[in-house]
């Protein structure tokens, strides 16, 4: 049975990953405000800014955390917030 890496191990692996990043099919190729996702580390999902590519910081979520964050975004929980 494969052991799930720790969050720190996942972050290190995903931060070094130059391949296996994908963008939503809803992104129209040249769109500048897109996220890329990487699902290669068991139990974790990497998210980065497509504009920065390999220079982007990588956020690491569990599948459950990513589902909750996306549900909140769809529900408008983050509307109007400045980051």
Does a structural domain hold residue 22?
A: no
Give the pLDDT score at 23: 87
Q: CA 58, CA 71: separation in Å to the nearest integer?
A: 20
Does a structural domain hold residue 75?
A: yes
Tell me the per-residue pLDDT of 11-68, one tens digit each, with 9 for 90 and over: 999 999 888 999 877 776 655 678 899 999 999 999 999 889 899 999 999 989 999 9
**Number of Cβ atoms within 10 Å of the Cβ of 9:** 13
Give the pLDDT score at 27: 72
Does a structural domain hold residue 13?
A: yes
Residues comprising the chain, all counted = 83
Give the pLDDT score at 55: 92
* φ/ψ of residue 34, rounded to 5: -115, 155
Domain that holds residue 8: 1-17+34-83
DSSP label of 56: S
* Cβ 70 vs Cβ 59: under 8 Å: no
DSSP letter for each residue of 19-33: SS-EE-TTS-SS-SS
User: Rounded to two decimals, what is the model's pTM?
Assistant: 0.78
Does a structural domain hold residue 77?
A: yes
Give the pLDDT score at 42: 93
Number of domains in the chain: 1
Does a structural domain hold residue 27?
A: no
Does a structural domain hold residue 25?
A: no
Does a structural domain hold residue 76?
A: yes
């Amino acid at each position: 049975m494969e052991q799930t890496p720790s969050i720190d191990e996942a972050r290190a692996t995903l931060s070094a990953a130059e391949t296996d990043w994908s963008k939503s099919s809803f992104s129209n190729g040249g769109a500048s405000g897109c996220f890329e996702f990487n699902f290669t580390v068991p139990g974790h999902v990497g998210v980065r800014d497509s504009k920065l590519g390999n220079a982007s910081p990588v956020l690491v979520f569990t599948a459950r955390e990513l589902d909750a964050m996306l549900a909140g975004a769809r529900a408008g929980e983050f509307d109007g917030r400045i980051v």
